[in-house]
Amino acid sequence: MKKMIALTLTAASLMAGSLIDDAKNAGLKPIPASQTELLKLIDNPKNPITKEKVKLGEKLYMDPRLSRSELISCNFCHNLMEGGDDGVGPSTGHMWRHNPHHLNAPTVYNAVFFGSQFWDGRAKDLEEQAQGPALAHPEMAATKEHIEKVVKSMPEYVKEFKKAYGDNVKITFEKITDTIATFERTLVTPAPYDAFLNGNKEAMTPKQKEGLKTFIQVGCASCHNGVALGGEMNAFNVTGTYKYMSTGDFKGDANGMVKVPTLRNITETAPYFHNGMIWNLKDAIKEMGRIQLGTKISDKQAESIEAFLGSLTGKKPHMMMPMLPASTNETPKPNLN
């Protein structure tokens, strides 16, 4: 009996090893288990990550006073208390207006692994991306001058910038958004899937492993690959037309390319697609099969893939809500218009 159990365990181990190889051959990559290796992936050599910058960036990320109304923070649309998004269809911004293109807010978790930012890929990294929503009228609707005045008006912020960058730091809009991006670079969520690909063959359940096989066999990994399982630009409506394509006017970049959304924490980031029109994950899986792979994904296959996607729900960085500096008489007043 003991020999039979040992043989069964050995067979299971070999099968898991084969699946790991299959996943890596399909272009899937884990978040490194080594902090040293991880830092190589997430750091910005032009603005290296430090504890001081991350702490300051977290405060700025949470501070709604950077917006014109002083009601909308980065966290408003990219809520770190859940999936790193806002959980609605089109994002809502200044004066409670919906995004004019009916665009859905992507998650900020693991965005550091994306090859490009925004649905049309117009920003190359988080530093460039962080500038966009702050100035966009449908979002935070601020100006560079407003944001700089807000930060400079508070002695505590000035002190923290000097601590992070040195006494001669010049507090500019770009320096502020770079600091926010530094914080965002640390928002990495390692999951059971990563532990599995890193060699822990028991990290995923049998159903999740079977789902990974289905995910690869159906062809999902052809677009959802790399560390982010997405994040690169790709053609959309390859073998069919997305059934909600008429909702909103977004058609991709100049070449019709759309950023592939990450599948990490996908169970926490409904609704799905660029315009947030599908709420059920199995429905999203089937629609992707139809329009991207030319495949009719069965209920059984969709359930299997969904089981695998559950292994991508990761451990969020531990953080406490930061206490923000008090406004002063020099702090700009809210503008609700």
Distance CA 267, CA 192 (A): 14
Distance CA 75, CA 282 (A): 28
Question: Is 74 labeled as ligand-binding?
Answer: yes
Distance CA 293, CA 229 (A): 16
Dihedral class, residue 9 (left if φ above 0, else alpha if ψ from -120 to 50, else beta):
alpha
Question: Is 101 labeled as ligand-binding?
Answer: no
Question: Is 233 labeled as ligand-binding?
Answer: no
Question: What token pair was written down for 72?
Answer: 């909308």
> Which 3 state secondary structure label does DSSP give 332?
coil
Question: What token pair was written down for 304?
Answer: 């299997």
Out of 58, 70, 127, 139, pick the active-site residue: 139
Question: Is 220 labeled as ligand-binding?
Answer: yes
Question: Is 223 labeled as ligand-binding?
Answer: yes
Distance CA 329, CA 116 (A): 40
Taking alpha carbons only, the member of 291, 282, 187 closest to residue 240 is: 291
Question: What token pair was written down for 206?
Answer: 């049998």
Distance CA 9, CA 79 (A): 42
Q: Is 139 a catalytic residue?
A: yes
Question: In what helix (H) or strand (E) does residue 51 lie, and over which residues does it extend?
Answer: helix 51-62
Question: Is 323 labeled as ligand-binding?
Answer: no
**Residues designated as active site:** 139
The annotated binding site is made up of 74, 77-78, 94, 220, 223-224, 288
Annotated binding site for heme c: 74, 77-78, 94, 220, 223-224, 288
